[in-house]
Amino acid sequence: MDTNEDSPHIRAQLEDEGSVLNSNLFLEHVGEVSLTLNSDGLSWKLLESLHNEKDGLSCLGIKFISKSETEIKFSDVYAVEFINWGLIHESVLSNAGGCLIRHESEMYRFTVHGVQRSKTRPSLLVLAVYTFGHKDLQMCHMWVNRINALLKMETGRPKSLLVFVHPLSGKGSGCRTWQTVAPIFSHAKVKTKVIVTQRAGHAFDVMASISNEELNSHDGVIAVGGDGFFNEILNGLLSSRLKAPYPPAPADFVHSVGSNDSVLVHDPNETDVETSCENEDHSPLLSSPRSNPIELSNLRTEEGSCDRDQDSKFSLPNERFRFGIIPAGSTDAIVICSTGTRDPVTSALHIVLGKRVCLDIAQVVRWKTTSTSKDVPCVRYAASFVGYGFYGDVITESEKYRWMGPKRYDYAGTKVFLRHRSYEAEVACLEVKSEKTSASSETVASKRYGLWLLPKKSERVVCRVNCSTCNTNRSCVSTSVPPEAPSSDPEEQRWLKSKGSFLSVGAAIISCRNERAPDGLVADAHLSDGFLHLILIKNCPHASYLWHLTQLARRGGNPLNFEFVEHYKTTAFTFTSSSDDSVWNLDGEPFQAHKLSAQVFRGLVNLFASGPEV
Ligand SMILES: Nc1ncnc2c1ncn2[C@@H]1O[C@H](COP(=O)(O)OP(=O)(O)OP(=O)(O)O)[C@@H](O)[C@H]1O
C-alpha cells in the first residue's frame, strides 16, 4: 500500500521545515486518498488508480465521487479525535465492468469534525465529518497531533462556557435542544458548566451574583432558549456591572420626573445605574430579591467596569467574553438576525468556531410605573425590541396562554388586533444630524412629523456578514472603553416630538426578523450601527392597520410606507403615557412603564455569531 520511498512504514513526508505533511490514508466512504496538511487546512485527492481521470468514478453512468481535490480549512474545523481500530468503508471499482463496489477493511482511524455551508441556504451550517484510517497507529497519532497543534493556533475559540438551559422554552424543548448540540461542545473540548433553570429569574440571579472572577474564567455565556431568556441573562450580567449614565431627555421630561430630577443629570460620576425595580409588575425578572443599590454604588471603579471589593474586574464592553444563543424559543429573532437562520446546530458551530459580532444594546429606564407612583428609576436592557401599545398588549395577553407554546402569539395577536385599542402618549426622540437628509429633499410629510427622509427600498443597506455599516467608524469593542452612548451635550441635542393617539410605539434595535416577519419590522436595521428605529403607528382605520401587519408578514413587504407610520432613526427617546395602563414589551417580556427613557449603546456586547448571509 505504501509507495513512499523515504519511509517504508509510514508514508509521511514533512516538507518546508515540517509545515506540510502528506500521507496516503483511507477516507471513509471514499477510498484511498493523498492527504495533505498545510498551515491553512487539509486537502485530499483520491488516488488516481481508483478512478478514471477522464470521467471520474462512475457506475452505470452515476457519478459517485468527485475526482476534484477536496479540502477543509482549519477555520472550519473544530475538532479532531483518534477513534482507535475499526472498519473503514471504501468505494472501489470492480475489475469487471468498472462498477463501484463497497469494500471495508479494519485499521486505526481518526475523525476530523468541521463545518460546511448548506448549498441551498448559505446561512445554514452543517456538520462535516471526515474519518481517515491507516494500519499504522503512529501515523494516525501523528496526524491527530499535527492537526490539534494547528487548531490550537486558531484564535478566539472558547475553552470554557457557562450554559443556561430553559427547559420550558418554546415548545418545551430546551433540554432536548441542548442534548442535540452538546456533543459539538464535547468534541471541540469546550468545558461547559450547565445550569438548567428551575424558575423564571433563576438565570438572572445567577448572572447577577456570580463573581467577576468566575465570570472571567469563562469565555462566554450561552442561552439555550428564546429571546426572553437571553434578555434575562443579559440583564443579570449588566445590571450589577454596567455603570453608565441614564439616557438623555428633553427638559420638560426631566422636570416632569419631579423628585428624580437630579438622577437625570448626565454625569456618569454622579449617576449610578440602579438595579432595584419595584416589584409591582409581574415580570419574572423582578420576582426575586435584587442587589442593594447602595452597595452597587460603591462598586464602580471606572466607567464601564466593575470592581467588587475582593473581586476581580469585569470590563464592559468586553471583547473576550461573548454571549451565545442556541435557539429553542418561540420567536428567536436575535438568533435569526445574527446568524441568518434559526438552527441550533448552526448556532453551536458559530460558538465553537469562536465567531464574533458586536450587538447594540438599549438601556431602558422606567421613571414611573403609573402616573401617580413615586418610583426609583428601574433600568433594564434589551437586545432586539422595545414596544408599547399593540406589542405590550400582545405580550400581556400571550402570557395567559404560555401553555400553547409559540402559537400563543398568533392567538393573542388576533385578539389584540380585533380590540383595536389606541393609546394617548407623548414621544420624543433625539435627532441625529449626521443621518438627516438635506432639508430640500424632505417631503411635506417628513417635515410635518419631523421625519427623516428614509432611503428608498432599493437603496437600503441590509446588515450582513462583515457589514460595512456596523464596522464603519468603530473598532468593534475594546476593553476599558466606555460604551458609545448618545451625546449628553444639550447644545448638540434637538428633540423631535410626536404627541397623539398611537396603536403602537416600537423601538427596533435590530431588524427583528422572525418567521412571522421575514424581513423584520425594519429591514435595514443593523446589529451594531448604534441606532434605534423608533416606529410610531398613529391611530388609523382597522383595515389600514391590517394592511400594515400584512406587509410586515410578507417577504419584500414595506410595512413602514404608510401615512400613519412615523419612522425615526435615533439614538435615544422618551415616552410618557396618558393612561395608567401602560405595558411595554422588552425582548418579548412584559414591563410596566408609564414614563420611560431609552438610549442605545453601540456594540456593548459581543455575540458568538457572524451576522446573517441574506
Ligand atoms: N425553568 C423555568 N420555568 C419557568 N419560566 C422560566 C424558566 N426559565 C426561564 N423562564 C422564563 O421564561 C421566559 C421566556 O423564556 P424564553 O424566551 O426561552 O421562551 P419563549 O417565550 O417561548 O421564547 P421567545 O422569547 O423567543 O418568544 C424567560 O424570560 C424566563 O424568565
Pocket test for ligand 1, best of 163, 164, 166 (most atoms within 8 A of CB): 166
- Indicate if the pLDDT at residue 591 is higher than 90: yes
DSSP assignments along 20-33, one per residue: EEEEEEEETTTEEE
Peptide bond into 317 cis (omega under 30): yes
Alpha carbon of residue 3 to chain centroid:
50
Residue nearest to atom 2 of ligand 1 (CA): 199
For 350, counting Cβ atoms within 10 Å of its Cβ (0-12 exposed, 13-18 middle, 19+ buried), the class is buried
Residue nearest to atom 10 of ligand 1 (CA): 200
Q: State pLDDT tens for residues 304-361.
A: 445 555 568 898 989 899 999 999 998 899 999 999 999 999 999 999 999 999 999 9
Residue nearest to atom 30 of ligand 1 (CA): 200
Residue 186's CB is within 10 A of a number of other CB atoms, namely 12
Residue 161, SS3? strand
Q: Which residues contact 198 (CB under 8 A, 6 or more apart)?
A: none
Out of 76, 205, 227, 360, pick the active-site residue.
227
Lowest mean pLDDT among 9-18, 424-433, 583-592: 9-18
- Indicate if the pLDDT at residue 477 is higher than 60: no
Measured in angstroms, how far is the CA atom of residue 241 from the centroid of ligand 1? 23
Place of cell 452505470: 60
Q: Which of 155, 538, 506 is nearest to 355 (CA)?
A: 155
Pocket test for ligand 1, best of 165, 169, 332, 337 (most atoms within 8 A of CB): 169
Provide the 8-state DSSP code for 438: P
What residues does CATH 2.60.200.40 cover in the chain? 180-607
Measured in angstroms, how far is the CA atom of residue 66 from the centroid of ligand 1? 47
Q: Which residues contact 592 (CB under 8 A, 6 or more apart)?
A: 280, 281, 283, 366, 369, 370, 582, 583, 584
Name the pLDDT band for 389 (thresholds 50, 70, 90): confident
Could you tell me the CA-to-CA distances from 612 to 158, 229, 340, 462 in Å, in that order? 21, 21, 4, 10
Longest dimension (CA), the chain: 94
Q: Which residues contact 115 (CB under 8 A, 6 or more apart)?
A: 76, 77, 78, 125, 126, 127, 128, 349, 353
Provide the 8-state DSSP code for 244: -
pLDDT at residue 270, rounded to an integer = 36
Measured in angstroms, how far is the CA atom of residue 326 from the centroid of ligand 1? 13
Q: Which of 347, 361, 355, 346 is nearest to 322 (CA)?
A: 355
- Indicate if the pLDDT at residue 7 is higher than 70: no
Q: Are 344 and 181 in contact (CB under 8 A)?
A: yes
Place of cell 404627541: 499
Q: Which atom of ligand 1 is nearest to the CA of 227?
A: 25
* Region for residue 456 given its phi and psi (left: phi exceeds 0; alpha: psi -120 to 50; beta: otherwise): beta
pLDDT at residue 472, rounded to an integer = 79
- The CATH classification number of 180-607 equals 2.60.200.40
Provide the 8-state DSSP code for 57: E
Helix axes 202-209, 227-239, angle to 10 degrees: 30
Q: Which of 568, 566, 546 is nearest to 557 (CA)?
A: 546
Residues in the chain: 614
Q: State pLDDT tens for residues 184-201.
A: 999 999 999 999 999 999
Q: Is 227 a catalytic site residue? A: yes
**Mean pLDDT, residues 142-159:** 94
Measured in angstroms, how far is the CA atom of residue 37 from the centroid of ligand 1? 45
Measured in angstroms, how far is the CA atom of residue 235 from the centroid of ligand 1? 14
Pocket test for ligand 1, best of 163, 164, 165, 168 (most atoms within 8 A of CB): 168
Residue nearest to atom 31 of ligand 1 (CA): 200
3-state secondary structure 452-490: CCCCCHHHCCCCCCCCHHHHCCCCCCCCCCCCECCCCCH
Residue nearest to atom 3 of ligand 1 (CA): 199
Residue 445, SS3? helix
Residue 590's CB is within 10 A of a number of other CB atoms, namely 19
Residue with the larger pLDDT of the pair 410 and 273: 410
What residues does CATH 2.30.29.30 cover in the chain? 13-152
Residue nearest to atom 5 of ligand 1 (CA): 200
Name the pLDDT band for 443 (thresholds 50, 70, 90): very low
Pocket test for ligand 1, best of 173, 222, 224, 229 (most atoms within 8 A of CB): 229
CA distance 242 to 268: 11
Residue with the larger pLDDT of the pair 459 and 521: 521
Name the pLDDT band for 109 (thresholds 50, 70, 90): very high
pLDDT at residue 488, rounded to an integer = 59
- Give me the residues paired with residue 115 across strands: 127
Mean pLDDT of the chain: 79
* Region for residue 259 given its phi and psi (left: phi exceeds 0; alpha: psi -120 to 50; beta: otherwise): alpha
Q: Which atom of ligand 1 is nearest to the CA of 167?
A: 1
Measured in angstroms, how far is the CA atom of residue 335 from the centroid of ligand 1? 15
Measured in angstroms, how far is the CA atom of residue 205 from the centroid of ligand 1? 14
Name the pLDDT band for 474 (thresholds 50, 70, 90): low
Residue nearest to atom 22 of ligand 1 (CA): 170
> Cβ < 6 Å from ligand 1: which residues?
166-170, 197-202, 225-229, 232, 284, 329-332, 588-589
Residue nearest to atom 6 of ligand 1 (CA): 200
CA distance 229 to 327: 10
Measured in angstroms, how far is the CA atom of residue 261 from the centroid of ligand 1? 35
pLDDT at residue 524, rounded to an integer = 85
Residue with the larger pLDDT of the pair 488 and 513: 513
Q: Which of 368, 372, 364, 380 is nearest to 260 (CA)?
A: 368
Q: Which residues contact 448 (CB under 8 A, 6 or more apart)?
A: none
**What pTM was computed for the model?**
0.83
- The CATH classification number of 13-152 equals 2.30.29.30
Residue with the larger pLDDT of the pair 220 and 462: 220
Cα angle vertex 268, ends 291, 473, to 5°? 115
Residue with the larger pLDDT of the pair 464 and 207: 207
What is the percentage of the chain residues whose pLDDT exceeds 90? 47
- Indicate if the pLDDT at residue 394 is higher than 50: yes
